[in-house]
Amino acid sequence: MEKSSKNKKDEQLEMFRVNNKGTKMTTNQGVKVSEDENSLKAGVRGPTLMEDFHFREKVTHFDHERIPERVVHARGYGAHGEFELYESMKEFTKAGFLQEPGKKTPLFLRFSNVAGSKGSADTVRDVRGFAVKFYTEEGNYDLVGNNIPVFFIQDAIKFPDLIHAVQPEPHNEMPQAASAHDTFWDFVANNQESAHMVMWQMSDRTIPRSWRMMEGFGVHTFRFVNEDGKARFVKFHWKPALGVHSLVWDEAQKVSGKDPDFQRRDLWESIEKGNFPEWELGVQMIETEDEFMFDFDVLDATKLWPEEIVPVKIIGKMTLNQNVDNVFAETEQVAFHPGNVIPGIDFTNDPLLQGRLFSYIDTQLIRLGGPNFTEIPINRAVCPFHNNQRNGYSRQRIDIGQVSYHKNSLAGNTPSTSTAKEGGFVHYEEKVEGRIIQARSDSFKDHFSQARLFWNSMSAPEKQHIINAFIFEVGKVESKSVRQQVVDMFVHVDKEMATIIADGIGVKKPTGTQSKVTASSPALSQENTRSVPYSLKVGILIGNGFNGAEVVKAVKTFINAGITVDIISEKLGTVRSKDNFQVDVNETFLTTDPVLHDALYVVGGKVGNPAKFSSDMTYFINEAFKHFKPIGFATSGKPYFEASNAKEGPGVVFTTSESDFGKTFVKAVAKQRFWDRDIY
Ligand code: HDE
């Protein structure tokens, strides 16, 4: 977004932006600083003096630069954007930002990993957080979701146990940002409500190619309430314009080393280039009267509503169009809370959601240092806010007047409350009755039907990836008893799957029986997703003396399809074709790696060290081939194909006189992976 076309939130943030460039250095008290290289000393070799207030202030501020990282979702990254409504949702909800088609609402989105610390790698196997703060005219509305539609547990009281189990083990603080260890799998096997989510976690969903290629889900069942007070159950979905795509596990692990910032860089660069990421917002709705019509409980967060049974209605579009100015001020200090709702959107009795309603403010009080975090620029509502809350650490606003209580006569009983008609939030009047009890509903007890539904919905390669992930993860578990418990649990999802896993991890064949579910939900498979070449990254491996006319024609076709190219050679500088085209090289075999590209275009050519060039080229081709990626060969690239392990077949495209190479290759790039390739 151009800084000139400001939305309301951006205008508000503008008041807080400070550009230090070209200014004079001062202390925080505004006193001009004359010396910033040497502290004040008694003699050039003498002790430093306490009266050096600039030194003391500078170092003290530095000492206090850190705030506690999030207990979970510590590793994350955000951007600004906007939401545009396609059609009025008036019939279903009175939420102001969902009334007028075309209405735009500013928002901030933060993606995150769950388990790792703030400095952990982006591409570890993990669930991704997908948290959106809408700055609506009726107050902030937060949709704090994940990239998986279900959760590990059914009741929030178990959340600390889940997180203690998945995070590094307390005695040796290992492993970082990984679930492949004893305590996590011990938790899973002893808390079988996790079965469905663990199937998703072992699938390709937890190693996304890009945040831009993930779905987002509100997970819980919420309630839409319209002007007449009529309510419906609702689940929220974000559908990515680029489709849902993933890395392969070997690649994800390598990317963690080659570029631990892989996903944040991907987001940052896309926005900088103007390739604004987009998602459509979808809602699934169930009538209140139909609450008990399904074979799952709508209040159970370990269950999804199959899209084939409850269709997703697409209602608008989110575009991320502006990077932050300062990661700490914005992304680190943003405070999401599922309890931030607006009139027209309400809660249900999902016990996982209910617990979250307590946790988020509590965590923000410690993380952001007290109750005034709503005044931090990124968290401020864009509409006015008034109440009788006062004081606390770092209070910014200066509330004028003697009255800070309700009811009063001295200020005419203001700030005054609003009725529902005047826009006041009135909680949905649900009738509840029951005994006070610590127990779970029987309708929450089926842990395997939807886990099997998910398995049934996977394509053959997706099933293989799930098996491989189990064998990797549980293979890292030292306790043989835990390994056995895991296969004894997952036999209830699929016997053959559990038997292959058992064989791979050295335990006895499981003897239990699998769930009887035969249904599948095609919407759950990534095989049925959208595939577009737009914004994918092709590495062009090139030296001097290439065929300029041929290569330039191909590259133009790539660029016209929205593909980004990296020119990779033995050194930075330029390479020249035999017909005198000149190309700038922006990466070398040392600075980049095949795992950082979606596809390769192998051109080849003359270089200073042909033997090394050839070995580097072979490495690139072999890796891309092994990771099922498209590889295109220019006529001059053919010898490198012959020197590599690559084989003719799916996704390996040659330049020939008969076919239009550029077009065929772009199609292959869009597909991203060729699972039917024989890589061995
Ligand atoms: Fe969270 N979660 N969570 N969570 N969660 C936090 O809040 C919690 C759950 C999610 O980018 C914390 O500000 C409990 C489900 C995201 O800043 C904390 C339970 C879903 C983010 C917390 C859950 C989420 C958080 C840590 C069990 C998907 C990052 C820092 C009921 C629907 C938001 C913070 C960001 C963050 C508690 C379960 C998503 C501790 C108790 C289910 C995306 O308050």
Nearest protein Cα to ligand 1, atom 3: 356
As a whole number, the mean pLDDT across the chain is 97
Instruction: Quote the CA–CA distance of 355 and 158 in Å, as a whole number.
Output: 10
Pocket test for ligand 1, best of 70, 107, 337 (most atoms within 8 A of CB): 70
Does residue 570 come out as left (phi exceeding 0), alpha (psi in the -120 to 50 range) or beta? Answer: alpha
Q: Give tens-digit pLDDT for 598-626.
A: 999 999 999 999 999 999 999 999 999 99
What is the distance between the alpha carbons of residues 225 and 236, in angstroms, rounded to a whole number? 15
pLDDT digits 0-9 by tens, 314-325 = 999 999 999 999
Which pair of structure tokens corresponds to residue 171? 């005695």
Residue 352 alpha carbon, nearest atom of ligand 1: 31
Is-contact 373 333, C-beta < 8 A? yes
Residue of the CA atom closest to atom 7 of ligand 1: 360
The minimum-distance atom of ligand 1 relative to the CA of 71 is 26
| pLDDT at residue number 5 | 56
**Cα torsion for 601, 604, 607, 611, to the nearest 10°?**
110
Q: Ligand 1 centre from 264 Cα, in Å?
A: 20
The CATH 3.40.50.880 domain(s) of the chain lie at: 531-671
- Cβ atoms of 238 and 98 within 8 Å: the answer is no
The DSSP line for 459-508 is: -HHHHHHHHHHHHHHHHT---HHHHHHHHHHHTTT-HHHHHHHHHHTT-P
Does a cis peptide bond (omega within 30 degrees of 0) precede residue 407?
yes
Among protein residues, the one whose CA lies closest to atom 25 of ligand 1: 73
For ligand 1, mutation pick of 359, 362, 368, 373 (most atoms within 8 Å of CB): 359
Nearest C-alpha neighbor of 127 from the set 105, 103, 144: 144
Digit-coded pLDDT (tens) for 170-227: 999 999 999 999 999 999 999 999 999 999 999 999 999 999 999 999 999 999 999 9
Are residues 669 and 559 in contact, defined by beta-carbon separation less than 8 angstroms? no
Ligand 1 pocket at CB < 6 A: 70-73, 76, 110, 112, 129, 131, 144-146, 151, 156, 159, 219, 336, 352, 355-356, 359-360, 363-364
**Which positions ≥6 away from 502 have C-beta within 8 Å?**
487, 508, 509, 510
User: What number does the ligand 1 atom closest to the CA of 162 have?
Assistant: 27
Which residues have C-beta within 8 Å of that of residue 577, sequence separation ≥ 6? 544, 545, 546, 547, 548, 551, 552, 583
Say what the pLDDT of residue 209 is: 98
**What is the residue-wise DSSP string for 593-648?**
-GGG-SEEEEEE-B-S-HHHHHHHHHHHHHHHHHTT--EEE-GGGHHHHHHSS--S
Residues 347-398: tens digit of each pLDDT:
999 999 999 999 999 999 999 999 999 999 999 999 999 999 999 999 999 9
Query: What's the token pair of residue 247?
Result: 């890395």
Active-site pick, 7, 146, 340, 468:
146
Strands 128-136 and 104-113: antiparallel
State the pLDDT confidence band at 657, using cuts at 50, 70 and 90: confident
Hey, CA dihedral for 197, 459, 497, 121, is it positive or negative?
negative
Cβ-contact 672, 629 below 8 angstroms: yes
Whether the pLDDT of residue 587 is over 60: the answer is: yes
Nearest CA to ligand 1 atom 44: 360
For residue 282, report the distance from its CA to the centre of ligand 1, in Å. Answer: 21
CA dist 123 → 56, 203, 621 (Å): 40, 14, 22
Distance 338 CA to ligand 1 centre (A): 8
pLDDT digits (tens, 9 = 90+) for 117-139: 999 999 999 999 999 999 999 99
pLDDT at residue 563 greater than cutoff 80: yes
pLDDT at position 291, please? Answer: 98
- Ligand 1 atom closest to 301 (CA): 42
Pocket test for ligand 1, best of 360, 367, 368, 378 (most atoms within 8 A of CB): 360
**Minimum CA distance residue for ligand 1 atom 38:** 356
Which residues in 262-386 belong to E strands, given as ranges?
278-287, 313-322, 345-346
Whose tokens are 């987009």? That residue is 278
Q: Return the percentage of the chain with pLDDT > 90, whole number.
A: 99
Tokens of 130: 């997908």
Q: What residues form DSSP beta bridges with 232?
A: 224, 287
Which atom of ligand 1 lies at the shortest distance from residue 158's CA? 27
Burial of 40 (0-12, 13-18, 19+ CB in 10 A): middle
Between helices 495-504 and 460-475, what is the axis angle to 10°? 40
As to burial, measured by CB atoms within 10 angstroms (0-12 exposed, 13-18 middle, 19+ buried), residue 102 is exposed
CA dihedral 150, 151, 152, 154 (to 10 degrees): -100
Question: Ligand 1 centre from 145 Cα, in Å?
Answer: 8
Q: Which CATH class is domain 75-182+210-379?
A: mainly beta
Q: Phi, psi (5° rounding) for residue 597?
A: -125, 150
Predicted local distance difference test score (pLDDT) of residue 6: 74
Does the CA dihedral 211-256-150-161 come out positive or negative? Answer: negative
d(CA 15, CA 12): 6
Report how far ligand 1's centroid is from the alpha carbon of 17 (Å). Answer: 29
Q: Ligand 1 centroid vs 340 CA: distance in angstroms?
A: 13
**Ligand 1 centre and the CA of 66: distance in Å?**
21
pLDDT digits (tens, 9 = 90+) for 419-451: 999 999 999 999 999 999 999 999 999 999 999
- Ligand 1: residue whose CA is nearest its atom 29: 73
Asked whether residue 567 carries a pLDDT value surpassing 50, the answer given is yes
pLDDT band for 3, please (50, 70, 90 cuts): very low
Domain with CATH 2.40.180.10 in the chain: 75-182+210-379
E strand spans, 17-90:
76-85
Strands 313-322 and 76-85: antiparallel
Nearest-CA residue for atom 41 of ligand 1: 356
pLDDT class of 658 with cuts at 50, 70, 90: confident
- Dihedrals φ, ψ of 675, to 5°? -70, -20
73 is catalytic: yes
| Residue of 356, 365, 374 to test ligand 1 pocket, by largest number of atoms within 8 Å of CB | 356
Check pLDDT > 60 for residue 155.
Answer: yes
CA 286, 289, 292, 296: dihedral to nearest 10 degrees? Answer: 10
Residue range 531-671 forms a domain whose CATH class is alpha beta
Phi-psi region of 22 (alpha: psi -120 to 50; beta: other; left: phi over 0): left
- Please report the DSSP string for 184-236 in residue order: HHHHHHH-GGGHHHHHHHTSGGGSBS-GGG--EE--S-EEEE-TTS-EEEEEE
Beta pairing class for 587-588 and 564-569: parallel
Q: How many other C-beta atoms lie within 10 A of the C-beta of residue 439? A: 7
pLDDT bucket at 2, cuts 50 / 70 / 90: very low
For the stretch 493-508, pLDDT in tens is 999 999 999 999 999 9
Ligand 1, atom 16, residue with closest C-alpha: 129
Mean pLDDT of 64-77: 98
Ligand 1: residue whose CA is nearest its atom 31: 156
Task: Among 67, 71, 73, name the best residue to mutate to test ligand 1's pocket (greatest count of ligand atoms within 8 A of Cβ).
Answer: 73
How far apart are the C-alpha atoms of 154 and 297, rounded to whole Å? 11
> Separation of 360 CA from ligand 1 center, angstroms?
7
Q: Which atom of ligand 1 is nearest to the CA of 358?
A: 41
Between the CA of residue 239 and those of 13, 244, 421, 511, what are the distances in Å? Answer: 28, 8, 34, 39
Predicted confidence at residue 176, as pLDDT, reads 98
Query: From the alpha carbon of 363, which atom of ligand 1 is closest?
Result: 44
Asked whether residue 256 carries a pLDDT value surpassing 50, the answer given is: yes
163 C-alpha to center of ligand 1: Å?
11
Using pLDDT thresholds of 50, 70 and 90, give the confidence band for residue 659. confident
| Ligand 1 atom closest to residue 334's alpha carbon, by position in its atom list | 17
Q: From residue 201, how far is each of 129, 330, 373 by CA, in Å?
A: 13, 29, 33
Helix, strand, or coil (residue 338): coil
Could you give the CA distance from residue 146 to residue 237 in angstroms, rounded to a whole number? 10
Q: What is the distance in A from the centroid of ligand 1 to the CA of 478?
A: 30
Q: Of the listed 54, 73, 181, 220, which one is catalytic?
A: 73
**Ligand 1 atom 43, closest CA:** 129
**Superfamily classification of domain 448-527:** Catalase, four-helical domain (1.20.1370.20)
Q: How far is ligand 1, taken at its centre, from the CA of residue 226, in Å? A: 28
Residue 352: which H helix or E strand, with range?
A: helix 351-367
Could you tell me the distance, in angstroms and rounded to a whole number, from the CA of residue 106 to the centre of ligand 1? 22
Nearest CA to ligand 1 atom 11: 110
Q: How many CB atoms lie within 10 A of CB 311?
A: 14
Give the predicted TM-score (pTM) of the model.
0.97
Atom of ligand 1 nearest to the CA of 156: 31
Q: What is d(CA 507, CA 405) in angstroms, rounded to the nearest whole number?
A: 66
